[in-house]
């Protein structure tokens, strides 16, 4: 299957924003070692894609709320079919179908952005001033636009360069290997950190899933994906890493807004468990975590101590004196009858 339509679409949006910033007056040449018109074009490529995908993102939040509402029923099914995994999966799929909840909706926005990422990766990887003219005009580019993007830099590191660029590639781009490695290394670390924070932010607000499969997906997104970027980031052009970091920052802001608009159920704490009551009847305090999980602990409402219950006298029992240590008053003796 040809992906040319993706390359044309990405190129069209990228070139449109570059022309817009050029028309506004952003210089096409380097300022502080940076060609800001091309950097802003990549940043606003993110904005364009996120605006298009915003309805899908809202559906993702609503689906996650529906999944949370089903957690008591899921837990009941897990207890009922303990040890029978096949029956449990059938019952859970039937429950999701009946309640119109989609467990995979949580990953849908990320999956929809994969073609955009691959398209930008392909387009930027082609940037090479030595390419023949017929290759420069692919996907709607002009020769001038291609040559301008080929020498575009972020703090003297070309956007087409990467941490693992060979000496030959760096020579074609007219770049210094040390500078490219430093800039790419910093951006890869920022990319890993912001990727982790976007997943952590969602889990802090929605809680860990009871379903083992859902929990495994959450752990994969929280730890697996950021860790994999340490290796894969070496082959990403700097322009692609700029796209990824900008996308993460946009996600952090968007999630914060949507989570305020559609807050999680009030009985769910940040650890994904409901606030319960201990055996003594005291409510456990809930923590309101921020982005890094540091929040103030809400103290439980003060309750007046209950008055001790005084057991009443048993039927037929003699009354006792409540004051300890006080002797009982002597009984008055009746005068004896005189015998005549």
CB-based burial of residue 8 (10 Å sphere; 0-12 exposed, 13-18 middle, 19+ buried)?
A: middle
Distance CA 311, CA 79 (A): 43
> Is 262 in contact with 143 (CB distance < 8 Å)?
no
Both tokens of 80, joined, read 């009922």
Q: What is the per-residue pLDDT for 6?
A: 93
Q: List 153's β-bridge partners, or say none.
A: 158
Q: What is the per-residue pLDDT for 71?
A: 77
Taken in order 275, 279, 283, 284, is the CA torsion positive or negative?
negative
Q: What is the per-residue pLDDT for 334?
A: 54
CA distances from 28 to 3, 91, 251, 328 (A): 30, 60, 29, 106
Q: What is the per-residue pLDDT for 271?
A: 42
Regions in the chain scoring below 50 on pLDDT = 268-300, 324-330, 333, 340
Distance CA 238, CA 228 (A): 17
Which ranges constitute the DSSP H helices of the chain? Answer: 4-24, 36-69, 71-80, 85-99, 108-125, 133-136, 143-150, 167-173, 177-206, 212-219, 225-232, 238-261
Q: What is the per-residue pLDDT for 70?
A: 80
Question: Whose CA is closest to 109, among 49, 66, 67?
Answer: 49
Q: What is the per-residue pLDDT for 12?
A: 96
> Is 130 in contact with 137 (CB distance < 8 Å)?
no
Q: What is the per-residue pLDDT for 225?
A: 87
Which pLDDT tens digit goes with each residue over 82-135?
878 888 888 888 888 887 777 766 667 778 888 999 999 999 999 988 889 889
Both tokens of 165, joined, read 């660029």
Determine how many CB atoms are found less than 10 A away from the CB of residue 100.
8
Q: What are phi and psi of 220, to 5 degrees?
A: -65, -45
DSSP string across 237-294: -HHHHHHHHHHHHHHHHHHHHHHHHSPPPTTB-TTS-B--B-TTSPBPPPB---TTS-
Q: What is the per-residue pLDDT for 266?
A: 58
Query: Own/partner pairs for 100-106, CB < 8 Å, 24+ apart?
Result: 100/66, 101/63, 101/66, 101/67, 101/70, 102/63, 103/67, 103/211, 103/213, 103/214, 105/59, 105/60, 105/63, 105/64, 106/60, 106/63, 106/64, 106/67, 106/214, 106/217
């Amino acid at each position: 299957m040809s992906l040319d339509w993706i390359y044309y679409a990405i190129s069209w949006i990228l070139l449109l924003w570059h022309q817009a910033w050029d028309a506004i007056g952003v210089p096409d040449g380097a300022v502080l070692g940076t060609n800001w018109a091309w950097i802003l074009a990549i940043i606003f490529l993110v904005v364009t894609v996120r605006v298009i995908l915003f309805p899908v993102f809202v559906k993702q939040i609503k689906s996650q709320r529906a999944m949370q509402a089903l957690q008591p029923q899921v837990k009941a099914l897990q207890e009922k079919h303990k040890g029978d995994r096949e029956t449990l999966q059938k019952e859970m799929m039937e429950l999701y179908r009946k309640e119109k909840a989609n467990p995979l909706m949580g990953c849908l926005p990320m999956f929809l952005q994969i073609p955009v990422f691959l398209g930008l990766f392909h387009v930027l990887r082609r940037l090479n001033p030595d390419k023949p003219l017929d290759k420069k005009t692919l996907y709607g580019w002009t020769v001038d636009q291609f040559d301008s993007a080929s020498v575009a830099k972020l703090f003297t590191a070309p956007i087409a360069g990467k941490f693992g660029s060979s000496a030959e590639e760096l020579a074609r781009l007219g770049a210094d290997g040390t500078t490219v490695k430093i800039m790419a290394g910093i951006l890869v670390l920022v990319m890993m950190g912001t990727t982790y924070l976007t997943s952590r932010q969602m889990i802090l607000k929605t809680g860990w899933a009871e379903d083992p499969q859902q929990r495994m997906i959450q752990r994969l997104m929280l730890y697996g994906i950021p860790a994999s970027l340490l290796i894969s980031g070496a082959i990403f052009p700097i322009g692609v890493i700029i796209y990824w970091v900008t996308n993460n920052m946009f996600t952090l802001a968007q999630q914060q807004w949507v989570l305020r608009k559609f807050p999680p159920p009030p009985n769910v704490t940040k650890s994904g468990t409901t606030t319960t009551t201990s055996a003594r009847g005291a409510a456990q305090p809930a923590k309101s975590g921020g982005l890094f999980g540091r929040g103030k602990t809400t103290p439980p409402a003060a309750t007046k101590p209950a008055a001790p219950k005084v057991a009443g006298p048993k039927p037929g029992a003699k009354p006792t004196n409540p004051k300890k240590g006080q002797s009982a008053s002597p009984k008055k003796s009746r005068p004896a009858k005189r015998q005549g």
